[in-house]
Amino acid sequence: MTIKQKLFFTTVLLHITIMVVAFIFRDALGLYLILIEATLILSMVVFYFLINQALKPLEYVDTFSKLLYEKDFTQRFSETKQVEIDALISQFNFMLNKLHKERLAIGEQKGVFQKLMDESPIGVILLDYERQLSEINPACEKLLGISQDRVVGKKLQQLQHTQCKYLTGIDVDTHQLVDAEQGRQLKIAHYEIRDRGFKRSFYMINELTGDIVESQRMAYEKLIRLMSHEVNNTIAITNSLLQSSLHYRSMLTNEASAEFENVINIVVNRSNSLNKFMQGYASVVKLENPIKTSFDLSKMLTDLVTLFYAECETRNIQITLDVAQTQSINADANLIEQALVNIIKNAMEAIQSGGLIRIVLKQDNEHLMLSVEDSGSGINPEIERKLFTPFFSSKEFGQGVGLMLVREILRLHNIKHELRNREDGEGAVFRWWILDSEST
C-alpha cells in the first residue's frame, strides 16, 4: 500500500468514526447532526485535495525515476503554477535536457568511433571490465583470421588456438613486433583506458609484413647484386687463367700432365658450381614484372604431374591431380610454372620416399583455389614462422631461395597464399587463392 493510499484510508476511517459517534448521539445533537455531517463531508473533500497536493512531488519523482530507468530523456514536465512543485519540475526538466544532450553527444561520438573502427586499416580489439572480448573491428578480423561472432564474450586465454594467442604476454603501454605464421610481421600494442571508473584494455594490431618484406627485398637485392657481380668477375678471370694454364701440359711428363689437367678441371668445375650457386640467388632479384596472358592452368598441372611422375615412381610417391573442370588464369605462365615446380619439389623432399602428393584445383567462392598437399612429416612449429624469411632454409645444404622465389612470384601476381600443416596433422599443404581466373 502506497503512502497516498494509507493517508486516504486513515482520513476516511477517521471521518467515518466521527460520523458513527455523531449518529449514536443524534438525539442529543438534534439539528447539529446535519451540520456536523456536512462539516465532515467538506473536511473529507479538503483532506483529499490537500493530500493530492502534498503528495504531487512524489508522483513527479516516481515519473522522473521511470524516465531515467527507460532512458527516455526527451520528455518534459509542464508547470502547475505552484511554487514548490514548479521549482521541482524546473530541476527535473533541466536534468532531462542535460541528459538528452549528453546522450546525443555520446551517440555522435560512438558513431564517429564506430566509423573509425570500421574503416581503420589497423586492427582493434576491445576488452570489457572482466577482460572478455567485447568488440573487434573488420581489420582485426582480417589480420587475425577470426570472426567477431565466435570470439566476443571470451577471454584471451580461451582463444589460444587462434591467432589471438599473440596478444597474451604483451604488457600494458608497450608494443611488440610479433612473428606470425607464414613470415607475417605484426606490430601489437596494448593500452588501457578508464571507463566509468574502471580499467579496460584494448589492443591495436598493425601488419608490417609489406614494409618489412620490401625493406628485406631491397637489402638482399643490393647484397646479391654486389656478390653476384664480384663472384662472376672473379670466376671469369679465374677460369680464363686456368684454361690458359692448360697450355703448360706439354711441358710436363705424361703422368704429371694428366694429374695437372685433372686438378685444373676440378677447380674449373668448382668455379662453375659456385657460379650456379650465385645464379640461384640472382634469379630472385632478376624477376621482372610478369607478362600476363590467359593460359590453361589445369593443363599446366597435368604436364607437371607427368614431368614428375618418373621421379615420384622411383621414390614410391603417388602423385595425383584433382581438377573439376578446365580452369584458365590470367598470369605469367613461365613464372607460375617456376613457382609450382619449386612447390612440388619441396613436397617430394618432405616425403623423401613412400607417400602421397595431392594437387587440387577448384573454385572457392570468388577465388580459384590451388592446393598442393603432401604426406610428409609436416612443418616444425619452431621454423613455421621463418619459412619465407630470406636465406632461411630447414635443409642442411639449402640456400633458402626456393620459397623466396615462390613468394616473389606470387607477390608480383597479387596471389594470396599460405603454407601450413594440414588440418588432419598428416603433412603440409601449400594453398593459393587466385582471383583472376575463368572456368570452361
Q: Residue 247's domain spans which residues? A: 212-285
In this predicted structure, the answer to whether residue 311 has a pLDDT above a threshold of 70 is: yes
pLDDT over 60 (residue 158): yes
Can you give the pLDDT at residue 106?
Answer: 67
pLDDT at 284 over 60: no
Q: Which of 48, 75, 104 is the last residue of a domain?
A: 104
Looking at the structure, tell me whether residues 153 and 172 fall in a common domain: yes
Residues 130 and 99 in one domain: no
Written as one string, the DSSP assignment of 133-191 is: EEEE-HHHHHHHT--HHHHTT-BGGGGTTSGGGGGTTPPTTEEEEEE-GGG-EEEEEEE
The domain spanning residue 153 has which CATH number? 3.30.450.20
Q: How many domains does the chain have?
A: 4
Q: What is the pLDDT, as a whole number, of residue 440? A: 54
Q: Please give the torsion angle defined by the CA atoms of residues 84, 85, 87 and 93, in that order, rounded to the nearest 10 degrees.
A: 170
Q: Give yes or no for residue 346 having a pLDDT over 60.
A: yes
In this prediction, residue 212 carries a pLDDT of 57
Whether residue 93 sits in one domain with residue 17: yes
319 and 218 fall within a common domain? no
Residue 153, C-beta contacts closer than 8 angstroms, at least 6 positions apart: 132, 133, 134
Segment among 125-139, 170-184, 296-310, 357-371 with least mean pLDDT? 170-184
What is the band of 214 on the pLDDT scale with cuts at 50, 70, 90? low
CATH of the domain at 435: 3.30.565.10
Query: Among all chains, which residue has been given the C-alpha cell 587462434?
Result: 162
| Cβ–Cβ under 8 Å, residues 179 and 158 | no
Q: How much is the average pLDDT of 340-344?
A: 90
Same domain, 184 and 223: no
**Range scoring the smallest mean pLDDT among 157-171, 177-191, 242-256:** 242-256
H/E stretch holding 98 reads: helix 83-119
Q: Does some domain include residue 387? A: yes
Domain boundary residue, one of 70, 104, 138: 104
Residue where one domain finishes, among candidates 251, 269, 285: 285
Local confidence band at 373 (pLDDT 50, 70, 90 cut-offs): very high
Same domain, 298 and 431: yes
**256 occurs within a structural domain:** yes
Which residue did the predictor score with more confidence, 281 or 74?
74
For residues 66-81, give the mean pLDDT.
75
Mean pLDDT of the 63-67 span: 77
Q: Say yes or no: 236 and 191 in one domain.
A: no
203 & 217 share domain: no
Q: Provide the mean pLDDT of the chain.
A: 78
